[in-house]
Amino acid sequence: MLWKDEVGITGSAASYKALDDGVALRVRIHQRLLDMLNLSALDKASRESLRVEIRAPVGQLLAEEKRLLTPVQTDQLIEDVLDELLGLGPLEPLLQDDTVSDILINTHATVYVERRGRLEKTDVHFHDTRHLIRIINKIVSAVGRRVDESQPMVDARLPDGSRVNAIIPPLAVDGPLVSIRKFAAVPIHMARLIELNSISSEMAEVMQAIVKARRNVLISGGTGSGKTTLLNALSAFIDGAERIVTIEDSAELQLQQPHVGRLETRPPNLEDRGEVTQRDLLRNALRMRPDRIIVGEVRAGEAFDMLQAMNTGHDGSMTTVHANTPRDALSRIEQMIGMAGLELSPRSIRQQIASAINVVVQVERLEDGNRKLVSISEIVGMEEEVISMQEIFRFRRQGLGKDGLVKGEYETTGVRPRFMDVLAARGMELPSITFAPARRQF
């Protein structure tokens, strides 16, 4: 923010006034520069050349504002104005901060961030609601989406893949609300997840074998539990020679293979036409000769098409679903198939699920902010009207430590998974001791 060394204690009336004056000055200069600059050439100009070009006009505008700034303050003002011109204004410092994983904007006056699993309030804010809505429009228009009174909710993404959700009045009563889930510039690989104790090395070894053996995987978890992060990490085990098609509402997967086709849904236009859903994209993907299909998240009737793909030669496909337990995940899939408008009996739907999905992985965001893979379960078929499932690994909680961190250990259940025969047939042997009843303390 502008001139932090002059602000004083964050949260006081004086500090807020100083911050507000700085934002107001930056917005006024930004608006006046837009009238002076050649907007058609703005996108082609580099930040460095634009910095040189606007220095003199900024000095002139400061003189008209009767504001006397030091050279350091002037340089900071120019950087903030460049953020307004080329970036996302007050959000730019937070987007560049690698310690920030989530940015939560509660109206123009309040911005929170998540660092290391903990929420904290920042001194960042916008000049007014119009300023915030202008930034929102800048984000959504870049990916061909819109947000207005007729469509006040929108999902979008930033160029780096970070996920953005915005909701504006009249649905947001006090003012616009924006959530930004930042993605690392370099995807988190399995080795890093092991280092963070999000998964044990034995579980990672088994998951690698599952992916390479082309078992179909369903990743289940709550909001912010790390489903997409795990999906990215697992995708690194896919052979680079395979053709992968990804389908998402908002493209955010960061697959590293050379042969990836990325598909993204499209909302309806102003005439309420032209919508392309995940179901439409899934049907089209089947004609694209994919070896594997990865759906970012199933939410409705596309769950049926995903199961059909898994059952018709696209082994090794993966998707995620919002659910609190592996059993809940299967129930949600069953409910989603009902949304497809198909006249299928519950038993028939469950048979489809049992034959399509091989492994259910449960991830969880614990109260200390850490994300963990808490369960790996295998679907083994049907027992009368119920899908039969056996847990292979689990995370056993043992309470909270004095530092507020969740204590626990990973353990095997002692069950030898049936997919071991499939792994062996594909040349992947896992030591039998991997599944012996034993515990791993960390």
Peptide bond into 258 cis (omega under 30): no
Angle among Cα 283, 289, 295 to the nearest 5 degrees reads 50
Determine which of 19-33, 55-69, 122-136, 292-306 has the lowest per-residue pLDDT on average: 19-33
What amino acid is encoded at 431 in this protein?
Answer: P
Which has the higher per-residue pLDDT, 204 or 41?
A: 204
Whether 388 shows a pLDDT value over 80: the answer reads yes
CATH number at residue 339: 3.40.50.300
Report the pLDDT value the prediction gives residue 387, as an integer from 0 to 100. 94
Q: What is the mean pLDDT of residues 116-144?
A: 86
Give me the sign of the Cα torsion angle 296, 297, 298, 299. Answer: negative
- Region of residue 253 (phi > 0: left; psi between -120 and 50: alpha; otherwise: beta): beta
CATH number at residue 132: 3.30.450.370
Q: What is the DSSP letter of 187?
A: P
**Percent of the chain having pLDDT more than 90?**
36
The pairing of strands 371-383 and 359-365 is antiparallel
Question: What is the model's pTM?
Answer: 0.77
Report the pLDDT value the prediction gives residue 280, as an integer from 0 to 100. 92
Report the pLDDT value the prediction gives residue 245, as an integer from 0 to 100. 94
For 88-120, the pLDDT digits (tens) are: 888 888 888 888 989 999 999 999 999 877 889
Angle among Cα 437, 442, 435 to the nearest 5 degrees reads 20
What amino acid is encoded at 279 in this protein?
Answer: R
**Helices within 180-325 (DSSP H only):** 190-195, 201-212, 227-235, 278-285, 302-311
Q: What is the mean pLDDT of residues 380-386?
A: 90
**196 and 179 both lie in a single domain:** no
Q: What is the mean pLDDT of residues 301-326?
A: 90
Report the pLDDT value the prediction gives residue 118, as an integer from 0 to 100. 84
Whether 58 shows a pLDDT value over 70: the answer reads yes
Number of separate domains in the chain: 3
Q: Containing domain of residue 244, as a range?
A: 190-441
Angle among Cα 275, 280, 286 to the nearest 5 degrees reads 155
Which has the higher per-residue pLDDT, 17 or 214?
A: 214
Report the pLDDT value the prediction gives residue 331, as an integer from 0 to 100. 94
Q: What is the DSSP letter of 7?
A: T
Contact 225, 373 (CB under 8 A): no
Determine which of 84-98, 345-359, 403-417 has the lowest per-residue pLDDT on average: 84-98
CB under 8 Å to 204, separation ≥6 — which residues?
190, 193, 194
Which letter, b or e, does each residue of 381-409 get, where b requires 16 or more Cβ atoms within 10 Å of its Cβ?
eeeeeebebebbbbbeeeeeeeeeebebe
Report the pLDDT value the prediction gives residue 249, as an integer from 0 to 100. 84
Tell me the C-alpha to C-alpha distance, in Å, between residue 395 and each of 87, 436, 441: 42, 15, 10
**418 and 317 both lie in a single domain:** yes
**Percent of the chain having pLDDT more than 70?**
89
Rounded-to-integer distance, Cα 413 and Cα 394, Å:
8
**Helices within 87-164 (DSSP H only):** 92-96, 129-141
Report the pLDDT value the prediction gives residue 38, as an integer from 0 to 100. 58
CA nearest to 62, candidates 50, 73, 46: 73
**228 and 372 both lie in a single domain:** yes
Determine which of 16-25, 234-243, 303-312 has the lowest per-residue pLDDT on average: 16-25
**295 and 164 both lie in a single domain:** no
**198 and 259 both lie in a single domain:** yes
Identify the domain boundary among 149, 183, 217.
183
Q: What is the mean pLDDT of residues 335-353?
A: 88
- Region of residue 372 (phi > 0: left; psi between -120 and 50: alpha; otherwise: beta): beta
Report the pLDDT value the prediction gives residue 61, as an integer from 0 to 100. 78
For 139-180, the pLDDT digits (tens) are: 988 888 888 888 899 988 888 878 899 999 999 999 999 999
What distance lies between CA 120 and its chain's CA centroid? 20
**239 and 112 both lie in a single domain:** no
For 267-311, the pLDDT digits (tens) are: 887 777 888 999 999 989 989 999 999 998 998 888 998 998 898
Beta-bridge partner residues of 114: 102, 119
CA nearest to 254, candidates 231, 238, 277: 231
Which has the higher per-residue pLDDT, 267 or 24?
A: 267
Confidence category of residue 42, pLDDT binned at 50, 70, 90: low
- Rounded mean pLDDT of the chain? 84
CA nearest to 434, candidates 152, 417, 43: 417
What amino acid is encoded at 283 in this protein?
Answer: R
Q: What is the mean pLDDT of residues 24-39?
A: 66
CA nearest to 117, candidates 364, 425, 382: 364
Whether 5 shows a pLDDT value over 70: the answer reads no
Rounded-to-integer distance, Cα 357 and Cα 376, Å:
13
Whether 55 shows a pLDDT value over 90: the answer reads no
**177 and 202 both lie in a single domain:** no
Whether 26 shows a pLDDT value over 90: the answer reads no
Whether 10 shows a pLDDT value over 70: the answer reads no
**380 and 271 both lie in a single domain:** yes
**350 and 214 both lie in a single domain:** yes
**99 and 227 both lie in a single domain:** no
Identify the domain boundary among 183, 205, 224.
183
Q: What is the mean pLDDT of residues 64-69?
A: 76
Whether 319 shows a pLDDT value over 90: the answer reads yes
Lookup: tokens for 257: 């293979």
Report the pLDDT value the prediction gives residue 31, as an integer from 0 to 100. 67
**225 and 321 both lie in a single domain:** yes
- Region of residue 305 (phi > 0: left; psi between -120 and 50: alpha; otherwise: beta): alpha
CB under 8 Å to 21, separation ≥6 — which residues?
none
Confidence category of residue 16, pLDDT binned at 50, 70, 90: very low
**421 and 403 both lie in a single domain:** yes
The pairing of strands 359-365 and 318-322 is unpaired
Identify the domain boundary among 69, 86, 103.
86
Lookup: tokens for 61: 């505008």
